[in-house]
A and B are shown apart, each in its own frame.
Chain A
Amino acid sequence: MTAPSIFLQGMNLVLLGDFNPKIFQPAWFVSQNLIGENEAESVDISIISADIVIFTMDWLRVQVSRERFQLSTTQEPYYEMVRDVLIGTFTILEHTPVHSMGVNLDYHYRMPSIESWHGIGHKLAPKEPWAGILSKPGLTNISMQGKRDNNYSGMVNVGVAPSVKVIPGICINVNDHYEVDSPKNSLGCSEMISALKDVWPTSLKNASSISQKLLEII
């Protein structure tokens, strides 16, 4: 049987804290040399306001609200670039209060057949317990949470759902979530930025490993 093949993958880095969205305009990133001048000319700005900023470039989507800072890409070669934009941004804005961080990876796999597609659902959520409760039950989304093997506070969340990008396909989402040790005593964002620098390679490898192992249950 043909193995599932990767169709699309993406990453988003999320910081939770207290942000001033108006700062994060394309011109600011250019002025800080975090993105190139020519790249900034092709920016597609969705909205810039006091409460939210959303703009997109070829390889980067920036979305900032008062509580959330998010950088996303669906271009795997740019993962490191996206990480650098985030690290660069909050090295400059070092006093921005940040209490949590998420390193999120999405993998969309094309399944070789409808049967193998259903097979994942049956393995992750057997239908027997649902007999007599629901007629023709089907899995739409499943989430699991586990501990992480390092010294940082937080957890790993894994979600599996049908892919909306490829049919038949599945989407595996791995959320590597980090929290500051003592939110009340935490000043600025250095704790989370240091954590990102430290865990980056491990976090990516773990996410990839989790998605591969889930596929092996077929």
Chain B
Amino acid sequence: MTSITALRETYDSDFNFSDSCAPTSSKLELFKLPKEQILSRINICYPESSNQSEEKILDQELVTEEKALAESGSSSIHFLKKFIKKPVAFNSHLKREGIVLSINGDYFTARLTDLIKDAVDEVADFPFDEISDDDRALLEVGAVFYWNIGFRLLPSGQKERSSLIRFRRLPAWHRTEIQKAYKEADELADFFGW
């Protein structure tokens, strides 16, 4: 099996709050791996949309190339690009729970309750296009959904305003739950003398 000398960048992981343990710079590590493994790693290392990250990494590699060659004593080194897997975060500014009031031609009307702060309920219309194919089957009068608007932080560092509607998926009411609800209703009725 063909193996290739490759260079990868690793980070010290033992930093902490101490002044003496501030994040240190990355260190270079030379190692050998099967050729196929390295090639597959290179193929997945950059998402298509992350040009900015790629340029940054390439700059780092150019700076370190000379050092790596000197350390390895080899004239042929394949540089293993770092696999950047930044988390895609989504932080909501608006978070509401809706209940479907009516379904019309190509939209539905819902009452919205704010889940972040106390506010008066609102009524709004939503086009069917906002619903995923999976959730379309859940659309019916009385169905509950969650509506989030916020910013999605992309791997490239860009922010993207995003709106997300997802319908609640809960199993049908269980027989014992219905019986329990009837019992509580009867108790309340007795209490109020109805």
Contact = CB atoms under 8 A, between A and B. Distances in A.
Given A9-B91, A77-B95, A91-B171, A36 B134 contact: yes
B87 A165 contact: yes
Given A81-B166, A139-B18, A76 B90 contact: yes
A76 B148 CA distance: 9
Given A38-B134, A88-B169, A201-B115, A76 B91 contact: yes
B90 A137 contact: no
Which of A9, A33, A35, A164 has the most B CB atoms < 10 Å from its CB?
Answer: A33
Nearest to B136: A36
A201 B95 CA distance: 12
A139 B22 CA distance: 11
Interface in A18-42: 32-39
A84 B169 CA distance: 7
Given A32-B171, A77-B92, A92-B171, A38 B133 contact: yes
Which of B16, B17, B18, B132 has the most A CB atoms < 10 Å from its CB?
Answer: B17
Contacts, number: 99
Interface in B21-62: 21-23
A152 interface: no
Interface in A125-172: 125, 136-140, 162, 164-165, 167-168
Contact of B132 (A36, A136, A140): A36
A33 B171 CA distance: 7
Contacts of A38: 132-134
A162 B15 contact: yes
Interface in B150-194: 150, 153, 164, 166, 168-171, 174
B74 interface: no
A36 B133 CA distance: 9
A136 B87 contact: no
Interface string B75-89: 000000000000101
A75 interface: yes
Interface size classification for chain B: 20 to 34
A167 B25 CA distance: 12
B135 interface: yes
Which of B18, B92, B97 has the most A CB atoms < 10 Å from its CB?
Answer: B18
Given A77-B148, A81-B146, A121-B18, A36 B171 contact: no
A136 B20 contact: yes
A73 to B, nearest CB: 10
Given A37-B134, A78-B166, A94-B174, A139 B89 contact: no
B20 A88 contact: no
A8 B87 contact: yes
B93 to A, nearest CB: 11
Nearest to A141: B16
A138 B18 contact: yes
A39 B132 CA distance: 10
A140 B16 contact: yes
Contacts of A117: 17
Contact of A6 (B18, B23, B91): B91
Nearest to B147: A77
A139 B16 contact: yes
6 contacts: A34-B171, A36-B169, A77-B146, A80-B115, A81-B146, A88-B170
Interface of B: 13, 15-23, 87, 89-92, 95, 97, 115, 132-135, 146, 148, 150, 153, 164, 166, 168-171, 174
